[in-house]
Amino acid sequence: MVTINEVMAELKNIDQTFLILFFIAIFSVHLTFSTFTYPYPNGRDAWFHILVSRAYYRGENGMVSPIVMKTNLVPYAPLYHLMLVPFVGSLKVALLAQQVFQCLFYPLTLLFFMLLTRKHEGFTTTMLFGMLLVGTYFGYGMAQARPQTLAMTLFPLAFWACLEKKAISFVVLVTVMFYVYSPLALALVLGLLVFKLKQKLLNREVLAIAILVAPLLFFQCYHMMSGNIYNRWLRVGDTGILTETQDFVLNPLFFLWTGLGVSMVGFGLIVKKFFNYRKLADFDKLMVLSFLGFLVMAPIWYARVFQVVIVPLAFFTAKFVGGHNRYVKLFFVALIIWQTVVFSFWSFWMSPPPYLWKYW
């Protein structure tokens, strides 16, 4: 027989789920409104990926098309661009498709992460976590329609499959992330793979993933252009007078504060969690290990992997804030709400880049 306490607990869960969905809905409406009141998708990358898809549309191998090799010097993984192919016959339709993806990927990423976190950590941590992901520049970077954003959407699903020991789902999701985002998917999945290897060194799931992604990696290595490739990736970014690299080197605190906000606290928290790793629950262990991808990939493409590291940083910051007394909590919650409001209105839409018609 069902007791009153069980009924009340279930109603409480329904209320919490409603509040999470309401939070996602408000953000989705705002993102959709801001997207479709501007003629172009968010960020310069949206145009680049339309051009790569356009190469497939013309019957070329988009992985090694001129726009890819002159920009990246490494072939780009195909899945995202193949998704766009049906829409790139017309530039107007292609832009519309990118705007629709822009409105879908980020809210879905938030939804998956928040539902997963509520199951393991409770409602307070979940809501703070969601606000921290919305309220930063690097978090808001997920609003760009690009392969990295799709990989970020798949990340919480792979996280879930890893925790729940769903072997086939885990192998499929991680493999797809590689074919969406190339070797840079390591920034997202390295921690998940290490978690599996710590359970069993000769892990069949990790071996299956390695076999499935090997053709992509071999193809990319074979076609990689020699030359100053590291210097090209280090210089990525063109925000204003200084490149992002120069801004980071000359003024790192400003760069980190605007990029990560309150979640900067997470750097210290992750170090502390690392030394207490054995005592952590599996969910926390995976979050700690997900920091490894950032450490390994940061020297190659630091600006992009900051978008990855915002996830464990925001999570441990949310746990830290939720576990403190009322006054500490009120102080941090006020900061979190402030940055959520400020950055949710952040926009960096860009007009067509000068190379568009050359490659169209």
DSSP assignment string, 48-111? HHHHHHHHHHTTS-GGG-HHHHHHTSSPPPSHHHHHHGGGTTSHHHHHHHHHHHHHHHHHHHHH
The arithmetic mean of pLDDT across residues 328-336, rounded, is 84
| Whether the predicted pLDDT of 285 surpasses 60 | yes
For residue 66 the two structure tokens come to 């001129």
Distance CA 236, CA 45 (A): 12
The answer, as to whether pTM is greater than 0.85, is: yes
Residue range 218-255, pLDDT digits in tens? 999 888 866 555 555 554 444 444 556 666 667 777 77
The residue extents of the domains of the chain are 23-359
The arithmetic mean of pLDDT across residues 111-136, rounded, is 90
| Whether the predicted pLDDT of 93 surpasses 90 | yes
Q: How confident is the model at residue 330, as a pLDDT?
A: 85
Q: Which residues contact 75 (CB under 8 A, 6 or more apart)?
A: 63, 64, 68, 69, 182, 219, 220, 223, 224
For residue 357 the two structure tokens come to 């018609």
| SS3 state at 349 | strand
The DSSP call for residue 42 is B
Instruction: State the DSSP string of 182-198.
Output: GGGGHHHHHHHHHHHHH
Distance CA 279, CA 284 (A): 10
- Work out the number of other CB atoms within 10 angstroms of the CB of residue 110: 24
